[in-house]
Amino acid sequence: MTSALIRRRRTVDAVARGAAAACVVLLLAPTAIALTALVTEGARGIVGAGGWSVVRACAGTLMLAGIASAVAIPLGVGGGLYINEYRGGTLARAGRWAAGALSEVPAVVIGLAVHALLVAAVGRFSFLWGAAALALMIAPTMAHTTADAARSVPESVREAAIALGASRWRTTLFVVSRVVHARVARAAWITAARAAGATAPLLFMTEARDWPRQLTSGDDALPLQVFDAASRPDARAGAWAAALVLVTVAGVMSYFARRAATPRGHT
Amino acid sequence: MTRSDPPDETEKMRADCLNAWFGELHALKDITLPVIENKVTAVIGPSGCGKSTFVRCLNRMHEVTDGARTSGDVLLDNRSIFRADVDPVSVRQRVGMIFQRPNPFPAMTVRENVVAGLRLSGADVRDVDSVAEDALRQVSLWVELKERLDAPVERLSVEQQQRLCIARCLALQPEVVVMDEPCALLDPIATSRIEEIIHGLRDRYTIVIVTHSMQQAARVSDYTAFFYLGELVEYDDADVIFTKPADSRTEDYITGRFG
Ligand SMILES: Nc1ncnc2c1ncn2[C@@H]1O[C@H](COP(=O)(O)OP(=O)(O)OP(=O)(O)O)[C@@H](O)[C@H]1O
Ligand SMILES: [Mg+2]
């Protein structure tokens, strides 16, 4: 190789690396600005409103997302395992189709549908209907992710289990689920965090705001609070406070997601 | 197939007019073959002749493939394994299987892998640790790995993984162990270690081994069966097959004229 060629390669390398670094800076800058504003304004809002209001706001969101996750994550994971392990069957194919279709539907449409079907028809218990809307966002995503993860388990591993005398469902339960565990746990945290921050499916459920107040003397779901308060100039401080709490909650959850992604023994 | 069995030989298994299909493909044709207890039976033949299909019939793994079916019979201790009241799970526990590519369970430790068969079959075993130790000792892995029982299985070498798979199979205390080209991915040193293990296992188990290597068949087997195009061409004492085979096709194969 001539030294001219080596020099050219070095130049190209330096330019490419510089350009990539610039992209990262451009990406980081708005994030940093937004975070700074969020922390300073949010802290001021929280101090103004008193710490107790933050606790109440958290309670509403965590309860909504918590109820939705508790129902939808096991359902999604179980469904996803079934979809992959029993593929070929009609039920599995229908399940794959439904999970795919539902996870493509915009959240606002899910909210509208739940509103039309449940809230309009039954009327009461709307807090639970809010959780139902979130669950409808979580379950298909989890099913999709789980089925994907299970598909990446080599067939030879299942064959080994069968040759040891395992039934199909034991193979799924003890071997396949072990392999997909980390990926699925990570997805569960991320999906739950996203649901906690989702506004769109809850927009129609104004009643969703009364229930936690009655039960816990808490407040609205956080995303709704942000959405509402942001549109009223007098309530901006509250919006900032709610947003800060929301981002913190999401941050904590994504920490758990990252921890879940590290399998045992692989430190 | 004219040899008369010496009296000390018991038939552990027997294929009786066994046929196997993959959909329309007739992969095994009228195979009749004994498997002698506490001996090593080697199955040799060119690629695609049905060796894997044959051994997968011995523990009912053939039927796991979509569209696969069999006719004829396979006897284990003189009883058909295909009878309606026989649970394939119990057949697979009595006739264990080792595959060409080591297939330890990912995301499990060494220890969990060794005892996985017990957990998977729902067996109620009290002293899991001593079962694991016994199985690992039989494949000479105990000394090597006793300090690393809780290490992820991915950290083992391919050869250690293959021995671990053998240990996982032995932990279920099978009567027959079927090996489908267990050394195909291993270097000569690792291969000879596995062969030593096979020698040692003969006292406790009946072994059927598929191999592409004539030398390996000659080294490890007591009896050898030569398959060609789905048929059993010749079965005899290994030294007869490798010194004076009766069929010219066997001779062509072992002298490397085809295959
Ligand atoms: N899952 C399958 N579906 C359809 N046909 C198959 C399948 N597995 C094997 N066959 C066919 O059955 C015949 C016997 O295959 P088998 O795997 O038993 O041969 P083999 O002697 O083990 O070959 P090799 O030495 O390459 O392992 C071949 O013609 C093969 O193409
Ligand atoms: Mg084969």
Distance CA A197, CA A247 (A): 8
B20 C-alpha to ligand 2 centroid (Å): 14
Enter the tokens of residue A82.
Answer: 């079934």
Q: Which CATH number fits the domain that encloses residue B24?
A: 3.40.50.300
Pairwise pLDDT comparison (A194 vs B227), residue with the higher score: B227
Residues A106-126, buried b or exposed e (16+ Cβ, 10 A)? ebbebbbebbeebbeeeeeeb
Predicted confidence (pLDDT) per residue in A95-115, tens digit = 999 998 888 888 878 877 887
Is B151 in Cβ contact with A265 (below 8 Å)? yes
Instruction: Name the residue type at position A226.
Output: V
How does DSSP classify residue A248? H
Distance CA A122, CA B259 (A): 75
Burial class (CB in 10 A: 0-12, 13-18, 19+), A39: middle
Residue B198 lies in a domain: yes
B48 C-alpha to ligand 2 centroid (Å): 7
Is B169 in Cβ contact with A165 (below 8 Å)? no
B210 C-alpha to ligand 2 centroid (Å): 8
Q: Out of 1.10.3720.10, 3.40.50.620, 3.60.110.10, 1.20.1420.20, which CATH number does the structure's domain A51-261 have? A: 1.10.3720.10
Cβ atoms of B206 and B176 closer than 8 Å: yes
Residue with CA closest to ligand 1 atom 30? B48
| Nearby residues of B34 by Cβ (< 8 Å), 6 or more positions away | B5, B11, B13, B14, B235
Where does the pLDDT of residue A208 fall: very low under 50, low under 70, confident under 90, or very high at 90 and above?
very low
Q: Which pLDDT score is estimated for A50?
A: 62
Burial class (CB in 10 A: 0-12, 13-18, 19+), A92: middle
Percent of chain A exceeding pLDDT 70 equals 79
Where does the pLDDT of residue A216 fall: very low under 50, low under 70, confident under 90, or very high at 90 and above?
very low
Ligand nearest to the CA of B65: 1
Enter the tokens of residue A67.
Answer: 């109820």
Residue A146 has a CB neighbour count (10 Å cut-off) of 28
Distance CA B37, CA A170 (A): 32
Burial class (CB in 10 A: 0-12, 13-18, 19+), B124: exposed
Q: Which pLDDT score is estimated for A220?
A: 59
Q: What angle do CA A3, A6, A11 make, to 5 degrees?
A: 125
Count of CA atoms in the C-beta half-sphere (13 A) of A122: 13
Residue with CA closest to ligand 1 atom 17? B52
Residues A169-190, buried b or exposed e (16+ Cβ, 10 A)? ebbbebbbbbbbbbbbbbbbbb
Nearest partner of B169 among B146, B135, B145, judged by Cα:
B135
Cβ atoms of B124 and B116 closer than 8 Å: no
Predicted ipTM? 0.90
Q: What atom in ligand 1 is closest to the CA of residue B210?
A: 22
Q: What is the mean pLDDT of each run of 10 residues along chain B (259 residues)?
A: 62 96 96 96 95 97 94 96 93 96 94 92 80 94 93 93 96 96 93 94 96 93 96 95 93 81
Distance CA B58, CA B13 (A): 8
* Chain B residue numbers touching A263 (CB-CB < 8 A): 107, 152
Residue B62 lies in a domain: yes
Mutate which of B19, B22, B178 for ligand 1? The one with the most ligand atoms within 8 Å of its CB, which is B22
Number of helices (H), then strands (E), in chain A = 12, 0
Enter the tokens of residue B96.
Answer: 């264990």
Is B107 in Cβ contact with A182 (below 8 Å)? yes
Q: What chain A residue is nearest to B57 in terms of C-alpha separation?
A: A163
Residue B247 has a CB neighbour count (10 Å cut-off) of 14
Distance CA A175, CA B168 (A): 14
A39 touches chain B (CB under 8 A): no
pLDDT, chain A, mean:
81
Sequence length of chain A is 267
Q: What atom in ligand 1 is closest to the CA of residue B230?
A: 14
Residue with CA closest to ligand 1 atom 10? B22
B53 C-alpha to ligand 1 centroid (Å): 6
Nearest partner of B223 among B32, B95, B35, B55, judged by Cα:
B35
Nearest partner of B45 among B183, B233, B246, judged by Cα:
B233
Cβ atoms of B183 and B211 closer than 8 Å: yes
How does DSSP classify residue B109? B
B53 C-alpha to ligand 2 centroid (Å): 7
Cβ atoms of A114 and A129 closer than 8 Å: yes
Distance CA B239, CA B259 (A): 20
Is A160 in Cβ contact with B105 (below 8 Å)? yes
The helix (run of H) or strand (run of E) holding residue B15 is strand B11-22
Residue B212 has a CB neighbour count (10 Å cut-off) of 16
A263 touches chain B (CB under 8 A): yes
Q: Which pLDDT score is estimated for B145?
A: 93
- Among A202-211, A253-262, B222-231, which stretch is predicted with the lowest mean pLDDT? A202-211
Residue B130 lies in a domain: no
Pairwise pLDDT comparison (A259 vs A67), residue with the higher score: A67
Please tell me the total count of domains within chain B: 1
Rg of the Cα trace of chain A? Answer: 23
Is A164 in Cβ contact with B121 (below 8 Å)? yes
Predicted confidence (pLDDT) per residue in A16-42, tens digit = 999 999 999 999 998 898 888 888 888
Enumerate chain B positions whose Cβ falls within 8 A of a Cβ in A: 59, 61, 64, 89-90, 92-93, 96-97, 99, 101, 103-109, 116-117, 119-122, 150-152, 165, 168-169, 172
Residue A235 to residues A17, A60, A90, A196, A228, Cα–Cα distance (Å): 45, 19, 53, 22, 9
| Nearby residues of A28 by Cβ (< 8 Å), 6 or more positions away | none
Residue with CA closest to ligand 1 atom 26? B47
A161 touches chain B (CB under 8 A): yes
**Which residue range(s) make up the domain with B67?**
9-101+173-254
Residue B4 lies in a domain: no
Is A162 in Cβ contact with B61 (below 8 Å)? yes
Q: Which pLDDT score is estimated for B64?
A: 92
Residue B155 lies in a domain: no
Nearest partner of B2 among B245, B166, B208, B251, judged by Cα:
B245
Is A157 in Cβ contact with B105 (below 8 Å)? yes
pTM (two decimals) = 0.81
For A76-142, what is the HEC assignment? HHHHHHHHHHCECEHHHHHHHHHHHHHHHCCHHHHHHHHHHHHHHHHCCCHHHHHHHHHHHHHHHHH
